[in-house]
Structures are given as structure tokens and as C-alpha cells.
A and B are shown apart, each in its own frame.
Chain A
């Protein structure tokens, strides 16, 4: 569904997840409507005793929910269809011309969730690594669909503690002429600091997260993929760090 067709209406989501978020972070940051079920998923992902197999299983479930909710932010148009009973149904259609972009590596965990919702969507990738000495994030690889400037971009990154990585990634997207208002950031866990930083830096971007909490579960990528350290430049035993 991510790829519908012509857009006439920009979706205004009715916020049922409380006005506090809007007051704090503005209207463009949305938190997945929380319920016991979502809370359970988050609890399992944060529990250090969760096995890897469970971790991946429940992470995929939460990702699916976040992706579905992110797709709600895409533009759609009204339309009317005829049902098999001969009656008319007033529905809506999504606009064509969307794509996904995942930030390597943990963002890739969300690709399958997007694929499960939009079968043939184009997916670009950005690899951001932090410099060992300066801890500064820098982009080492990026590959996008050619016409990304004309597309809505669903940027996927599950854990944000400082927001630095995402800021770098968005900078790359902007270099490719993607409009800030065409970016939707899909995220699982976000710290208040990162949220504040991002809405300040990119006020026109839409952000969707499942939880804003001062501790970010930084073990996500490691546990999901089951490899402790990633990258070729870092020391072998350096603690994993999500920038």
C-alpha cells in the first residue's frame, strides 16, 4: 500500500496518544498509540534475559506495527469502489512514489517489515560509521533510487539515543535533493534528547516512534543480528555504540 497513486490530501493524523507529546516535541513527532500489547513487546525487547530467538520474533512484531503506523503518514486520495455486492464503498488510495531508506545496520532489521507491507517498494541504504577517535559520525556508503528527490522517503532506524547518526543520514538525503517534508522517520525507541534534537533540526520531518524513554536499548542491533561488533575500522573489543 505504500505505493498508491495521486495525492490530493495530506494525511492529518488525529493524535490520540496525548497532547503532552505535541506540546513537548511539536505536531510532527508521533508515538505509536500505546496499549498493553505494545508495552509487552517493548518489555520483552528490553529484558536482558530474553533469548535471541524471542528477541528477533518480538522485534519483528513491533517493527511491523511501527511500519504500519508510519504508512499512515503517507498521502492518500479519496476514492470510491464497487464491492461484490454491488454497493459503493467510499475508501481511499495511497499515492505512488514512495521509497524506504534504511540506515545500516540496525535499520535493516526494519526492511522486512516494510517489505511485508509494500511488496515491491524500492529500498535505499545509508551506512554511517562513527570515527573511533573523534566519535564523529560520518557517512561511508549511500545508495538510493535515482529519482529519490521526487519520492516520499520512509527512513528506518530503530534506536536513537543522541540522534547523530540520523542527522548525518538526513543530511545525505538532503544532498540528494529530498525535501525535508517528504521524510518520515520510523523508529522503535527514542530518547527525549534525540527527539528534541531531531524536531529542532528538522522541523518539517515527520517522526514516528514506539516509545520515548531516557534509556535507549542500545543492544538492539547486536542482539537482533547476533554479531557483537560491526565495522572494519573499530577495535575488535570496543563496546558497541549507537551514535
Chain B
């Protein structure tokens, strides 16, 4: 497994320092790295070839568990195969960090593509997780969200807590689960929105204060013992898989696991099995088999069944149309420019500034100076596109003056790292005390697709006019992802202004077609994009030139 790990230079803001400091006014943040995830991956690497952590079943008693519960199976993970895993794992000195970004979850028209939801049901110790892992393994999609029913256990009261300690609380009964929250969570994931999944602590039987942020992905796998029990949840599953493992095998696994791994005694395990696990299986789980589209006997060992499932999912995904950058770059040739495009008036100043910053022999000092001037003009222009209202003010000269005022104070900036950050200063210079959010999107060098790594937005961003900043827009893939993120955070489409120094025509078309209400502001429009997705004649890599990180050996 170690052979698959290659050094991947992570964007600095996405590295492990993300958990401390720098909070200030920005509360809502997500980092696509987490300790649990890193831990999972470590375990995954140890287990070498069995991709999923050997997570314990829902224990009937928490007394033997260590406080740091290891059973956080609710994680988003990439398929761990051939090409994408290579750059998705980073090993630092002390920890393993998962750095894969979130690839596009929408089609080239920017529309949310509904994720494909696979529901996996089966009795305790039937091998549901193994089946889920094998599906993830075989599916050649970059981003899969795995949601486990274990996250939705109800919070226990004191009495129930005591019962649990005596092996008498029934964790296998439908009443043990919060189906309402479960259905709502799955529904949001299916809509591609962000959700906060509770983290259930099996020692205290409470939800922990922190939650796990998850996104809808191309494929969502939802697994649990009562996956098919609730009608609402059942309706959301596009494919229903039942893992049917012989009762003897399940009991044998359970005994081995509970006794040898958790140090429990035979009596207790059998008592729990006979009084709760087994009856629940026959009352609630086995009858739900009628809902299944596919029944997989023998669980994870059944390669034929898994192969069939994967083929079906592939067909479905293709029908839904996940694709992106390449397609964006080659559409809309020769179309008239969209009406949502606001190009700065073509004055000699702007042209002169462009001459400076496009010239490859301009020194960085001058490059920064002239970029800043141009950025300021672009931002001033962008602000004029916000809504205004008529007002009358009294002047010191004693006459009234018919003027205008901005209709809203709720304006925030969001920069797309890294090049977009260069525009933050100008926004701060013209809007007092403006809040600035950040989104890190990086191009995956192997697939050429943009991936989302890091996000930090003002808390009530849905109420804001958002000035979304990126220095250059070529295919528009990163900008579209950022817009999609904003929409997923409930920002209204017509509240978004995409502001940029330079755009390629094709990028403008893609964005305008996908998000017709987003205002697109730029100071220049270039006709072409080269095979490396740079704009022509272009500026080169704006971020590298501004921050001085050009690869050595190049001009």
C-alpha cells in the first residue's frame, strides 16, 4: 500500500494547521482533513488491502470501550485504487493527512447532479461494511460518501444508560435510532448540500459536541441494520442491497469479535444475542429483505454480486452526466457574449495596466503594483453593479441633494485561493470592515479536474451579496465549483458577483450558461485557452507571478 503513496505537495492552507487560530469573524469552516479520517486511513494502510477499518459493530455495552471511540465509520473517502489515491494521501512526520479535494458534484451546466444513493442493509455482523468498501474500491469514481446508521443512535437517558451497562438496552430495535434526523440528513446529502453528521459516543451514549461535516458526493453509500425500515429513507435509496449472511456465520463472527477483541464474556454476548439481536433480526431486518433490489449472499466474498452492482452504478452515473473540464473548454465557440458579462470600459489606462502585467519580463515589484491598480478598478466597477436606492441628503450648503446609497450593507468577499487572495486587499480598501471568506480549489494534476479542499465562509453567508474573486478564469471550472459551493450554502444566485482580472471567452460562456444570474465582471476577455488551460495571450500563472513561486528554470 505504501507504494501508492507519493509525496504530494499540499496547498499550505489545507495542511494540518487548520485547526487553530485565525478564527476572527469567520465561523463557518470546513477542512477536508480530519483526525478521524487520517486515522481511518492509517488503519486502512495497516490492514493492507482490506480497505475499510475493521470497525466494531454497535456494541451492546460501552463499558469495555476506551473513551476515544474508534468507530467513526461515517467518513467520506475516495476509492483507494490506481490513479486517484496516489495524490490523495500525504504522510507527514507524525500523522497521515488525507488531502483529496472534492471533485465536481455537478454537471457541465453547473446543475446539481443527483447523487446515486446505495442503501445497504443486513443483519449484525453480516459484512455490510465489507460490501460497501468493495463497492467503493471497484467504483471508479473519485468521491464517495459513506454514511453509517450508527451515527444516528438516540441519546440515552440515565436509566437506559444503566440498562446498556447490563446488556439490557436494545440497540437492535428501531426505537434506538433517530430516524427523523437520519432522513433529513440523507435528504440534504442527496440534494448535494452540506450536512453536519452527529458523532455518537458509545461510552457516554451521547452525541459529541463536534459533528462531522459531509457533502453529497457522486455516490452516497448508506449502510446499517435497519436501512430499509423507514419508508422515507427507503424512498431515497436508488439501489437497495441486502447482505444476507447465514445466521450461524453472523453469530460466530459476533462471538469472536466481542470476546476476543472486546474482552466480553460468553454469557453476556449470548444473552444479548438471544434476547435482542436475534429477535430484532427476525422481526425487523429479515422482513425488510423484500425491499431489496439485490440480495448478496455471503457478503463481501461475493465478487460476482459486487461486480454487478458496480456495473449498474456506472451506467447510472454516466446517464446523469459527470464530466467536466475538457467539456467546458470546448463548448460555445462562436456564441454571442452573455448578457451577464460586465466588461470594464476599454480605456487606455486599463490597456496600459494589462500591458505591464502581461509582459513576461515585468519585474515582480511592478507586476504587483500594476496588478493592484487594475484590481482596484475592477472592484470599484463591480461594486457599482450592486443594488442602490435613491436617497435625499442635506448638504452643509443648505440645499438638498438627490443621491444614491447602497441598498445593502451585507456584502462579503470570497476569494478563491490562491490567486483570488490578491484581490482581497482592494476589497478591504473600498468596503470598510468587509468579511472575507476563502475557498481553496486546486486542479488535480492527474485528472485535470478541479477539487475542493478548504472552505471558510461567513456564518450567515446566505444573507450576503457575495463578491467572488479569482484573478483569472480560464475554463471556469474552479469558478463554477466555487459558485456551486456558495449555492449549496444557500446564497441566492443573483447575489453572486464573480470578479476577475482576465477571463477566457469559453470560461465566461460556461459560467454564464450554468449560472445565468451570476454577474461576471472582468477587465479583459481573451479568446483562447491552451492545452494547459492557460488563457491566451494571457498573463501566465497569476498566483505564481504575484507571490513569486514560479518554478525555477522558467522565466
Contact = CB atoms under 8 A, between A and B. Distances in A.
Interface of A: 1, 4, 11, 13, 16, 33, 35-40, 42-44, 46-49, 57, 61, 64-65, 68-69, 71-72, 74, 76, 79, 81-85, 87-89, 91-94, 116-117, 119, 215-219
Contact of B380 (A11, A61, A82): A61
B355 A91 contact: yes
A1 B370 contact: yes
A56 B386 CA distance: 22
Contacts of A91: 351-352, 354-355, 358-359
The 4 lowest CB-CB distance pairs between A and B, nearest first, are A43-B403, A84-B540, A91-B355, A37-B384
Contacts of A215: 395, 397, 399, 401
Contacts of A38: 384
A93 B394 CA distance: 44
Nearest to A37: B384
A46 B348 contact: no
Contacts, number: 143
B8 interface: no
B218 to A, nearest CB: 33
B155 interface: no
B359 A82 contact: yes
Given A43-B391, A47-B394, A76 B404 contact: no
Contacts of B376: 64
A72 B394 CA distance: 33
Nearest to A88: B537
Nearest to A13: B347
Contacts of A94: 348, 352
A47 B396 CA distance: 7
B396 A48 contact: yes
B397 A85 contact: no
**Which of B391, B403, B530, B534 has the most C-beta atoms of chain A within 10 angstroms of its own C-beta?**
B403
Interface string B90-110: 000000000000000000000
B377 interface: yes
Interface string B336-353: 000000000101110111
Given A1-B349, A37-B384, 15 more contacts: A1-B370, A37-B381, A44-B405, A46-B393, A47-B403, A61-B430, A82-B359, A84-B360, A85-B534, A85-B536, A89-B355, A92-B348, A94-B352, A117-B373, A215-B399
A85 B432 contact: no
Interface in B237-287: none
A40 B397 contact: no
A46 B539 contact: no
A66 to B, nearest CB: 12
Contacts of B208: none
Contact of B355 (A33, A48, A79, A85): A79
B302 to A, nearest CB: 53
Interface string B378-396: 0011011010100101111
Contact of A43 (B386, B401, B534): B401
**Which of A61, A69, A81 has the most C-beta atoms of chain B within 10 angstroms of its own C-beta?**
A81
Nearest to A43: B403
B373 A40 contact: no
A237 to B, nearest CB: 17
Given A37-B380, A215-B397, A219-B396, A81 B355 contact: yes
A218 B398 CA distance: 11
Contacts of A74: 348
6 contacts: A36-B384, A40-B388, A72-B349, A83-B358, A84-B555, A89-B354
Contact of B349 (A40, A68, A219): A68
A73 to B, nearest CB: 9
Given A39-B388, A42-B403, A85 B345 contact: no
Interface in B523-555: 530, 534-541, 545, 555
B345 A82 contact: no
B356 interface: yes
**Which of A35, A36, A215 has the most C-beta atoms of chain B within 10 angstroms of its own C-beta?**
A36
